[in-house]
Structure 1
């Protein structure tokens, strides 16, 4: 039950142990760059969302770090309305942000709720879900994100007789949550007890409550029909530039970009409800090129999940660019955005997933030919499994995948995004090996490779300190160590200790006799130590 009256001001001690905000220093551009790793297109919407979410948490941090005399100063939240068609990445964007920030994330469907006191879900359950997502950590839950989808479905048409408990009623019920109120946290068992023994539980004290002051709310929907409202308003205003644009048939206007709060009121939302959302972000429909880029992105979970499906049968799956372009073309016709990509991939590949595990076939290169006629391609494979055609298709696909990773890394460089380590040709091969063997996003593969690199540099420092010298591993030596520990599934320190143990005496001897302190550890030190020592002594 929502509680009326002045909200209780709770003291929050912003300490390193208790709150993630203590070390929060993420900048809007950094968050936007992170979204770019996974989400194709939507540049304007990503910029708005990344900026306002970063600002929300920085503002909360600033307020909490100030003296308590400022606690009662109004805190206006950057609650966000996201407008856009299905399958363009609205939910995915918020999940990525919550993951990056490390905050709890609760998602709900607006159509499941009704006004408090009526049959249907209670909107306060959203806050309780957030508490459970935070594993019962009250401090963490206070800075979570609540995401409510299908919000356009609770807009009231205005012609309903009697109480509209599932539309306008839900809007009214959300109002206090959107600003600040106390929500009592109940476990499912407590909820049942309240129903069975209401008198006994009515006056129970010591309940856990969660304050919504710093919880960020994001709502989204496709808003069918809103475009017509906007178009009508713009035509009434006789905007000259709009008339000029409309005359050009090739120019398709996204009228949702011109949305105003008044348009949302006319759509069926309470003025007070719209006022609680000062930020509006509009997602564009995906183009055929963007659908292709989604598939070609080496962080794309749709393609990676399909590869994992085949991997369980020991079959390695790879895709050519032309196959992705054909899939993107088909997906555009369906008009459901990125969701169509997953459906088309399943439709094309299920016959292979069902049949190939029964044959001694462990590779499959997905080409344009396969996409256009999967059944015919499968019949040809089974009738002549020894044909070189299948190996050639797989090789073409593998080269295409490697090129896509190279392009991904080059793009990061052009955008001045710093890579965790310099990518030499050898390291690109190692990165691709991790990406293929573990079927993970390239960002994860890059982090794994950079983690091994950091371990090598850490060993370099440890080796230097122990022997009181300056040991410098050459790039070639580092690449060799990284390759070997990946191949052997062995720790860096264990591998290097075994390989370099006999060299320590030589370094100590040279240091004493030649007063030399700096030594370069080359690849030869691992492959042929006698030759390495011979060259070292000569130098």
Structure 2
């Protein structure tokens, strides 16, 4: 759990997302409140619930990205799901508790990676011994092993091919669910987990270069040093205390169009979400998960429906409302130039791999922003995603011919931009299909 202040969290989000200050403030406060809660005495800590957030705004303005960056900053298990993918219990489709089961799997991966880092040095030493065994055999004299060890560390043996045995993680059948008991997932994998370490587990022989073998061997040796029970216990705690669920397209399950048939199923999904968002216990194959302290961030464009069309009970469980603004021309300019992994920086780096230098003039950036704003206004407002379409169109010819122009420098100006997208942007019928 990060101990960044809300101001520092907003500053960190500003590196990747332009504008939307209100939304950033809301998630920064929510994250800081988690840290504050951890400092409380046990009896009070259980009483403090997270204040779930409802983000309202058009597509492509940063709703998902804010949540994703927040989770990354906090090192928290994060899952994004579309509310429309789920159906009421009893209907064909996924039930909402699957969200939490998927979140647990993500938590396990996070914890396992963290634990692997902790035993990295020991695992690397063990992996080196296994490479030496493959090169000179287990019966080689210490002097021979030391000689080869020096060559190994100097990179002299990197390209030599060796045979290694690693754990066969891809073998076995997946678990299956017992009808009516979705949390009771059993299967061959569970048996292999029970007996795997004690009986050596199933291995497979792989032929690879010395350099490439290290990644597999270090992972293999790390897993031997780890305790699965400790990992599962820590993952369950991490999900319960720090998990973040991003419920996208929540507006699509709000009955705002007056049609009864679809409305019944949508209302059912909302009713199934209620206990999950308020706090319930979900059975998973690793153990029960309490959702009381998981942070839920719901989002939707609410073009057709309104937040008030959601069930009153669900509205009450999303107490913090944040409205995100549509992007302006200035926002598009800043997205192209100021973000840490801006599109212009990405395309420059891609072309540099072909030894081609790409430069954009200020008026070219203005022209790109103009085209994006114009298309969003006349065709369909897809927010910042429009820039990717426009950039691809502008740089299509350069991307195709880049290997033939190695060593050159290309300057993109406003004339170049208009030449490649100007006519298409002005022809509404064409731009509907091409841009």
TMscore range, shorter length: 0.5 to 0.7
Contact 1:31 1:50 in 2 (8 A): yes
Q: Which has the higher contact order (CA 8 A, sep 6+)?
A: 2
Structure 2 match to 1:217 = 296
Structure 2 match to 1:506 = none
The aligned runs of 1:62-81 (5 Å cut-off) are: 62-63=39-40, 66-67=41-42, 69-70=43-44, 74-81=47-54
Contact 1:113 1:121 in 2 (8 A): yes
Output one character per residue of 1:399-440: Cα deviation in whole Å (capped at 9) or x when no partner.
Answer: xxxxxxxxxxxxxxxxxxxxxxxxxxxxxxxxxxxxxxxxxx
Distance in 1, Cα, partners of 2:13 & 2:371: 26
Structure 2 match to 1:339 = 385
Distance in 1, Cα, partners of 2:414 & 2:260: 56
Distance in 1, Cα, partners of 2:264 & 2:411: 54
For residue 167 of structure 1, give the secondary structure of its aligned residue in structure 2: helix
Q: 1:264 aligns with which of 303, 307, 313?
A: 307
For residues 119 and 329 of structure 1, do their structure 2 counterparts lie closer, same or farther at Cα, with a shift above 3 Å needed? same
The aligned runs of 1:402-441 (5 Å cut-off) are: none
Output one character per residue of 1:229-258: Cα deviation in whole Å (capped at 9) or x when no partner.
Answer: xxxxxxxxxxxxxxxxxxxxxxxxxxxxxx
Q: 1:102 aligns with which of 75, 86, 98?
A: 75
Q: 1:179 aligns with which of 278, 295, 307?
A: 278
Q: 1:61 aligns with which of 29, 35, 38?
A: 38
Output one character per residue of 1:292-345: Cα deviation in whole Å (capped at 9) or x when no partner.
Answer: 111111513433332343233232323222111110000001222211111100
Q: 2:315 aligns with which of 254, 263, 274?
A: 274
For residue 169 of structure 1, give the secondary structure of its aligned residue in structure 2: helix
For residues 287 and 169 of structure 1, do their structure 2 counterparts lie closer, same or farther at Cα, with a shift above 3 Å needed? same
Q: 1:112 aligns with which of 85, 96, 102?
A: 85
For residue 223 of structure 1, give the secondary structure of its aligned residue in structure 2: coil
Structure 2 match to 1:51 = 29
Give the length in aligned residue pairs.
291
Distance in 2, Cα, partners of 1:128 & 1:167: 22
Structure 2 match to 1:304 = 345
Distance in 2, Cα, partners of 1:322 & 1:158: 44
Distance in 1, Cα, partners of 2:49 & 2:73: 23
Contact 1:296 1:321 in 2 (8 A): no
Contact 1:111 1:166 in 2 (8 A): no
1:38 aligns with 2:137: no
Output one character per residue of 1:19-65: Cα deviation in whole Å (capped at 9) or x when no partner.
Answer: x3xxx42211111111122211122222223223322x1343134xx
Distance in 1, Cα, partners of 2:360 & 2:11: 26
TM-superposed CA distance for 1:356, in Å, is 2.6
1:167 aligns with 2:266: yes
Q: 2:63 aligns with which of 86, 90, 94?
A: 90
Q: Which consecutive residues of structure 2, in runs of 5 or more, have no partner in the other structure? A: 110-231, 377-381, 423-435
TM-superposed CA distance for 1:368, in Å, is 1.7
Distance in 2, Cα, partners of 1:356 & 1:158: 50
For residues 37 and 298 of structure 1, do their structure 2 counterparts lie closer, same or farther at Cα, with a shift above 3 Å needed? closer
1:319 aligns with 2:360: yes
Distance in 1, Cα, partners of 2:261 & 2:15: 49
Contact 1:320 1:366 in 2 (8 A): yes
Distance in 2, Cα, partners of 1:157 & 1:221: 13
Q: Please state which structure has a larger fraction of its residues in strand.
A: 2
Structure 2 match to 1:330 = 371
Contact 2:337 2:343 in 1 (8 A): no
For residues 371 and 160 of structure 1, do their structure 2 counterparts lie closer, same or farther at Cα, with a shift above 3 Å needed? closer
Q: Which runs of 4+ in 1 moved over 6 A?
A: none
Distance in 2, Cα, partners of 1:45 & 1:96: 13
Work out which of the two has the higher radius of gyration on C-alpha atoms and give 1 or 2.
Answer: 1
Structure 2 match to 1:141 = 239
Q: 1:294 aligns with which of 335, 356, 375?
A: 335
TM-superposed CA distance for 1:355, in Å, is 1.4
TM-superposed CA distance for 1:264, in Å, is 2.3
Distance in 1, Cα, partners of 2:257 & 2:65: 32
CA RMSD across the alignment? 2.3
Contact 2:257 2:304 in 1 (8 A): no
Structure 1 match to 2:412 = 366
For residue 280 of structure 1, give the secondary structure of its aligned residue in structure 2: strand
For residue 121 of structure 1, give the secondary structure of its aligned residue in structure 2: coil
Distance in 1, Cα, partners of 2:399 & 2:260: 54
The aligned runs of 1:400-479 (5 Å cut-off) are: none
Contact 1:53 1:78 in 2 (8 A): no
Q: Which consecutive residues of structure 1, in runs of 5 or more, have no partner in the other structure? A: 1-19, 187-206, 227-262, 377-539
Structure 1 match to 2:211 = none
For residues 129 and 165 of structure 1, do their structure 2 counterparts lie closer, same or farther at Cα, with a shift above 3 Å needed? farther
For residue 304 of structure 1, give the secondary structure of its aligned residue in structure 2: helix
For residue 293 of structure 2, give the secondary structure of its aligned residue in structure 1: coil
For residue 395 of structure 2, give the secondary structure of its aligned residue in structure 1: helix
